[in-house]
Each structure stands twice: as C-alpha cells, then as structure tokens.
C-alpha cells in the first residue's frame, strides 16, 4: 500500500505544470513556452539537447532569388540568428534575409541605408537581434539598423558608426533591453552597450580586443579569422571573448 501511495504521489507531481515550468526555466533558460504545456516544452528542449549530443540532425536548403543580388558579396552569408519563429541571415553586402522556421520560406528582406564604404566588407552584417516585432542588425562599419519584421524593406538607421574613433564592429548581439557591440581597432573601446528602448549609448569600455586592433581594421577590406564573440546572458550580463 505504501508503494502505491508513493507512486501515485510521484505521478501527481509529474503532472504538475508549475514544476515543469521551473525545470524548464532553470535548465533551459526559457521564460515563455512554444508548446501546449511546460512539460511538452521541457521534453522538446531535452530531445533537442540529446540530438546535439548524439549528432542527430537534418538540414533543409533555404531558397531566395539570387537574381535580386547585384553584388557577388550579397551571396556570402556572414552571420545567423535564431528566434522561436524565425531564422535571420546577414550577408556581406549589408542585406538581411528573414526565414520562417516552420515553413522555411523567405518572409522578409531588409536593406540598410548605405553610406560611403571604408572597405569592401565595411557593409557586411556582423550581428542580428530579433525582438518581435523588430529586427535589429549591425554592420562592420558600426552602423546599427532597425526594421519591423512585417514592415518596409528599407531599415532605419538607429546609430551611425564611427570607424575612426571606435574601430570595426566585429560582433553584435542583444536581448529585449540591451544591444551589445564588440569592436576591434581602437584601444579601450572594445565593448559598447546601448539601451534598446531609447537606442542611446549607455557604456563604452574595456581593452579586450586591443591585441587584435590591426586585424580589426583588416576585417573591413578582407576576409579574416574570427576576432571575438559577445553574448548576453539570461541575467542581462554581457560575456565576450577573443
């Protein structure tokens, strides 16, 4: 009888959605769900992690019309960003193409306001942030552009870069509140942080990329090795490395 009572208790616990909510949040960092229950959300995340560990995968070719590309660099993908519903691809000519994850169809193409070039790859997309309904992307010359996912293809320039004072914007990321850029080329200005709500610069500091300053300038004119990466954690901390 005691065994039955224990089993029935655990059975009831296993159906507790608040429990699965907490587990999913703690282990996978999820604050909202895509599936009907938090248990299903947890199972989905767990199975995905198992697939990574076991090397199980499948691929699908994403299609867009190459005839719409004037510059051959426009066929070179430089970065990718995922959200729950979209995949964004940033290209070397400054174009961002947005695909629907469920249908694998192209649903949007966004272009920045181009300025004078500082080199062949100065317009290349260096990072993308998707915070529905906005898509924010940056280019190596330091420009940051904002577009509405279901809006016009020509993006608005939220920040105009200054390569001479800051160097090249080699990586860009963000969350709902903050945008973070990793620069290389000018000493003491490796990290820039903007308030994503006001689009104002909030922080500039660190010498993380000072040893890679020369390579930072080379990114504007030629294909180079990766200089560094920056990411924002669930606790809104920025973590960068070279």
Most confident option among 9-18, 62-71, 149-158: 149-158
Is residue 149 predicted with pLDDT exceeding 90?
Answer: yes
State how far the alpha carbon of 151 is from the alpha carbons of 3, 57, 154, 196, in Å. 60, 33, 9, 19
State how far the alpha carbon of 92 is from the alpha carbons of 69, 138, 241, in Å. 11, 11, 23
Q: How confident is the model at residue 2 (pLDDT cuts 50, 70, 90)?
A: very low
CB atoms within 10 A of CB 201: 13
State how far the alpha carbon of 48 is from the alpha carbons of 28, 43, 64, 178, in Å. 11, 8, 27, 28
Is residue 226 predicted with pLDDT exceeding 60?
Answer: yes
**What DSSP character marks residue 95?**
-
> Of 175, 208, 174, which Cα lies nearest the Cα of 190?
208
Element (H, E) at 139: strand 134-139
Least confident of 5-14, 80-89, 100-109, 155-164: 5-14
Average pLDDT over residues 215-223: 92
Q: Mapping DSSP to helix (H, G, I), strand (E, B) and coil, where does residue 46 land?
A: helix
Is residue 1 predicted with pLDDT exceeding 80?
Answer: no
Q: Which two tokens stand for residue 169?
A: 């914007």
Q: Mapping DSSP to helix (H, G, I), strand (E, B) and coil, where does residue 68 land?
A: helix
Q: Mapping DSSP to helix (H, G, I), strand (E, B) and coil, where does residue 212 land?
A: helix
Tell me the CATH class for 72-241: mainly beta
Mean residue pLDDT across the chain: 90
Asked, as a colleague might, if the bond just before 41 is cis with ω within 30 of 0, I would say no
Is residue 64 predicted with pLDDT exceeding 80?
Answer: yes
Q: Which two tokens stand for residue 135?
A: 């898509």
Q: Encode pLDDT of 67-90 as tens digits.
A: 878 778 788 999 999 998 999 999
Using CB atoms within 10 Å of the CB of residue 161, give its burial: 0 to 12 exposed, 13 to 18 middle, 19+ buried. Answer: buried
Average pLDDT over residues 86-114: 94
Average pLDDT over residues 21-50: 89
Cα(33)–Cα(236) distance, integer angstroms: 20
Domain with CATH 2.130.10.10 in the chain: 72-241
The confidence score (pLDDT) of residue 6 equals: 58
Q: Which two tokens stand for residue 225?
A: 């090795």
* Residue whose pair of structure tokens reads 């529905």 in the numeric block: 132
Q: How large is the angle between the packed helices 17-28 and 38-54, nearest 10 degrees?
A: 40
């Amino acid at each position: 009888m005691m065994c039955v009572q224990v089993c029935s208790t655990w059975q009831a616990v296993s159906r507790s959605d608040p429990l699965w909510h907490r587990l999913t949040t703690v282990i996978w960092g999820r604050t909202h769900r895509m599936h009907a229950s938090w248990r299903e959300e947890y199972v989905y995340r767990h199975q995905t992690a198992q697939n990574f560990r076991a090397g199980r995968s499948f691929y699908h070719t994403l299609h867009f019309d190459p005839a719409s590309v004037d510059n051959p660099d426009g066929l070179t993908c430089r970065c990718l960003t995922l959200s729950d519903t979209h995949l964004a691809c940033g290209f070397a000519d400054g174009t961002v193409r947005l695909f629907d994850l469920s249908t694998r169809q192209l649903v949007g193409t966004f272009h920045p306001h181009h300025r004078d070039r500082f080199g062949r790859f100065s317009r290349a997309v260096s990072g993308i942030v998707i915070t529905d309904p906005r898509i924010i992307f940056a280019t190596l010359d330091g420009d940051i552009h904002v577009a509405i996912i279901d809006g016009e293809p020509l993006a608005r320039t939220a920040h105009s870069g200054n390569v001479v004072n800051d160097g090249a914007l080699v990586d860009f990321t963000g969350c709902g509140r903050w945008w973070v850029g990793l620069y290389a080329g000018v000493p003491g200005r490796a990290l820039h942080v903007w308030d994503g709500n006001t689009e104002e610069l909030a922080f500039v500091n660190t010498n993380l990329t000072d040893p890679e300053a020369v390579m930072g300038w080379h990114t504007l004119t030629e294909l180079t090795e990766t200089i560094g990466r920056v990411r924002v954690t669930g606790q809104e901390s920025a973590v960068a490395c070279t």
